[in-house]
Structure 1
Amino acid sequence: MMREAVILAGGLGTRLRSVLPDTPKVLAPIGKHPFLYYLLHYLATQELSRVILSLGYQHQLVQQWLAEADKGQFPFEIQTVVEPQPLGTGGAISLSMSYALAAQVFVLNGDTYFPISLSDMEQLHQSMKKPITLAACYLEDTGRYGSLEIDETHHTVKSFQEKRDRKPGWINAGIYCIDRTWWTSKPFPEIFSFEKGVLETMVHYHAESSLVAVFQANQFFIDMGIPEDYIRAQQMIPAYARI
């Protein structure tokens, strides 16, 4: 069975400009390697056939790093897709889906490290028969992210809560399993936000029978979206990945 993943790596990384002024987030130095190195090494354990890198800002630097990297350490094909203009997360997914072949495609945020079992997530996705499954992580403080209201019985997302209280709960951890034919059949605009335009809309308008399933995992998680967490990642990711 073919298994593919898309890494969303085209963002401008504006919140990290103070520490990474001219570097795409996937090439952010973490210890001895760029963040993409750790992400690809995690994916190398997940029985993938192909990884599609969705690129935009400073895409030439990512392509240069890939050209110089030892491809033998990654047991899958790596394909790059470059946005002709900033497309938003939704537009980037649509562009990448046009190159994908698998029935279900995993989509990962390019600034998040959450090394879950994609096989387990795929099994849940197939059993739930929903077009989208998102991975959720439990945090003691959800204030920076906002939280998920989850129907624990039916493994679905009931609502997305705003970033307010610093309380424990489940957050959207930035990994998705999406039915490719469902996605490509939709008349999505060229430029749009996946989170706002798809996830929140689907949950809001189908609250009683959510179309978004959830895979809950208590796993190491770090999001490098802000300088403080990027600094934390310097020690935490190499220690966890043991690379």
Structure 2
Amino acid sequence: MYIFWLIFFRDLKVAFKSKQELLTPYVFFLIVSSMIPLAIGPISWDTPIIGIGFIWIAILLSSLMVMDSLFRTDINDGSIDRFLILPYSFSFVVLAKIFAHWVVSCLSLIILAPIVAISFGLPSTKALFLALIIFLTTPAISIFVAIGSALTASSHKGSVLIGLLVLPLVSPILIFATHASTLIINGESIIGPLYMLTAISIFAITFGPLICSASLKASLE
């Protein structure tokens, strides 16, 4: 576990040194969220269902903002080569990097998104359940985006390719997350979609780092 936390805190330190990269996903999320009423127009806001859908799209797009640099920086400065010779599984190293990136790019969204949802009319008690859904969902989103980043690490057009690769992967997450959010608004049970989102995250955490490590090794050969 020592090497896991060593790499985790190393990546956190690097992220906090780059204020622009650190703030980009949150600023993007807030800008998109603030423009939702302008895009929808003068409709009735008695129900926040439409706003919740846009919030989930904003979360997905925000997670794509800075993932291009997740592995590319380490490849360019040679850190990946040093990680490969460590007496630990390379997928363990990859998981530490993904976890650090989740903390930097997604953790605050668990707080920001429910606040934005409340401004769209979602009761504060139900906003807590929305925060739970985001907490269970964003790890899978980060890992799927990391897979796209690993597959395009050697490409000069990584940002575009990541979007093309990742958006189909996260579509089931978007479907179940918006369905669960709609059930929350209607006061219905969210157990079904919650189980599905949890299963997707567990599957992603289990196999995602293995796919990322294999992709990175292939790109370095």
TM-score of the aligned structures, taking structure 2 as reference length: 0.24
More helix by share: 2
TM-score of the aligned structures, taking structure 1 as reference length: 0.22
More strand by share: 1
